[in-house]
Amino acid sequence: MDQFQPQSFTGLLIPDVPIRPQDYVHGAENNPLGGLGLRVVNPDGKWTDYRPPMQKQKSNKTGFESNDCTGFGYCRELATYLNYCLKNNLLPPTFTDWATAKGYIKNGSFMFDPQVLGIMAGTTSAGNWLQTVADTARKRGLAPAGTLPGPDGYATSDYAGFYNPSLITPEIDALCKEFLQYVDLPYQWLTGKGTLEMDGLKACPMYVALCTCGGWNNPPVPWCNAGNAANHAVEQTEDQTIVDSYDPDVKQLSADYNIPFQMMILASVKEQSMQQKAIGFKKANSATVYVQVGSCLVPVADWQAFVRLGGDSNSVVTLSDADFAKFTVADGSLFKSA
């Protein structure tokens, strides 16, 4: 899309109930759960200069439009937050050393893979919703940028190839889960403007949904009186400033531009003393859990033994028969509960 018009499709799906009663919401007095609170991380609330290198959801090379604005927006928001923490020495060395070794930090910037997140979140050519993508990242983790080819690797309209679930190999799945050993990814919605919004931006950049008004690619973008309509997901880095997956990445919005849906990803890097979780593997429809030793899978005697190794239900990768067959399986159980 060279020029956006109001409600041009970019991959945002809005459910009938965008914010559920069971969601955490900051600023909504009638919400049953309330919010998770705010912690000031960036006192001036300006995050734009910490954004990662641009990742485009539409390929200039092939013309493939991924409709994955939700995945690109989430990955960019979290990378911006962690880049601020990295530049201001707020991250433990154990995490930054691991993230560098695993490829999450490239040329001094965190970068994540939107295609991996999109596949795990069930995104299709019809798009996805902020909440679904945030829930997926919270439960399944994230992969480093470049894990999969991205939009440049696919011909026009090859959605079956781009969103092919088989691209998420056991190794990718395990690495995503390993990321969650270092970072928790809770989220909450923000409802309210003015001081409430400014306080929110001191805690983190926002993962937001809004309408792409005419002139979108030629900022500053004027408001088009679209009410609470939304058709695109982006990152909000300052008051009326967003970072996009279409050129130019930084866009200034007019002072009256409405951003109807704002989500806060309250990432929390775990303390260095936290025990690393064991990554387990199991076949579909089988209760036996295995741990990897070299190229070999070793069965664990029982669930309690896996827990004693530091595992839990969120650190188990389910393998297809074909993927399971790629491993050598040891005889007997080396890890016992007692």
At 197-241, the pLDDT tens digits run: 888 999 999 999 999 999 999 999 999 999 999 999 999 999 999
pTM of the predicted model as reported, rounded to 2 decimal places: 0.82
Mean pLDDT of the residues in the chain: 89
Domain spans of the chain?
Answer: 1-272, 280-329
More confident residue, 209 or 317: 209
Q: Which fold has domain 1-272?
A: Cathepsin B; Chain A (3.90.70)
Instruction: Provide mean pLDDT across the span 97-113.
Output: 97
Percent of the residues in the chain that have a pLDDT greater than 90, as a whole number: 65
Instruction: Provide mean pLDDT across the span 244-261.
Output: 96
Cβ atoms of 137 and 185 closer than 8 Å:
yes
* DSSP, res 151: G
Spatial distance between the Cα atoms of 173 and 87, rounded to a whole number of angstroms = 29
Residue 2 has pLDDT above 50, yes or no: no
Q: What is the pLDDT of residues 133-148, one digit of tens each?
A: 999 999 999 999 999 9
More confident residue, 285 or 338: 285
Residue 1 has pLDDT above 70, yes or no: no
pLDDT, residue 220, reads: 96
Identify the top-confidence range among 108-117, 266-275, 308-317.
108-117
Least Cα distance to 207 among 282, 136, 109 occurs for 136
Signed CA dihedral, 306, 100, 67, 149: sign only: negative
How does residue 33 score in pLDDT terms, banded at 50, 70 and 90?
A: very low
How does residue 334 score in pLDDT terms, banded at 50, 70 and 90?
A: low
Residue 131 has pLDDT above 70, yes or no: yes
| Token pair belonging to 87 | 């530049």
Spatial distance between the Cα atoms of 292 and 279, rounded to a whole number of angstroms = 8
Instruction: Provide mean pLDDT across the span 28-42.
Output: 67
Distances (CA, A) of 192 to 26, 60, 116, 189, 316: 9, 37, 32, 10, 39
Instruction: Provide mean pLDDT across the span 46-59.
Output: 98
Radius of gyration of the chain (CA): 21
Look at strands 187-190 and 261-265 and give their pairing: antiparallel
How does residue 50 score in pLDDT terms, banded at 50, 70 and 90?
A: very high
pLDDT, residue 7, reads: 55
Cβ atoms of 262 and 206 closer than 8 Å:
yes
Least Cα distance to 137 among 151, 158, 123 occurs for 123
Helix axes of 170-179 and 130-140: crossing angle, nearest 10 degrees = 90
Spatial distance between the Cα atoms of 290 and 323, rounded to a whole number of angstroms = 13
More confident residue, 122 or 197: 122
pLDDT, residue 273, reads: 38
pLDDT, residue 3, reads: 45
More confident residue, 191 or 230: 230
pLDDT, residue 284, reads: 84
Give the dihedral of Cα atoms 255, 130, 233, 11; nearest 10 deg: -150
Give the containing element (helix H, strand E) for 209.
strand 206-210
Instruction: Provide mean pLDDT across the span 83-101.
Output: 96
Residue 111 has pLDDT above 80, yes or no: yes
Is 256 buried (19+), middle (13-18) or exposed (0-12) by CB count in 10 A? exposed
Spatial distance between the Cα atoms of 317 and 259, rounded to a whole number of angstroms = 38
Instruction: Provide mean pLDDT across the span 70-78.
Output: 98
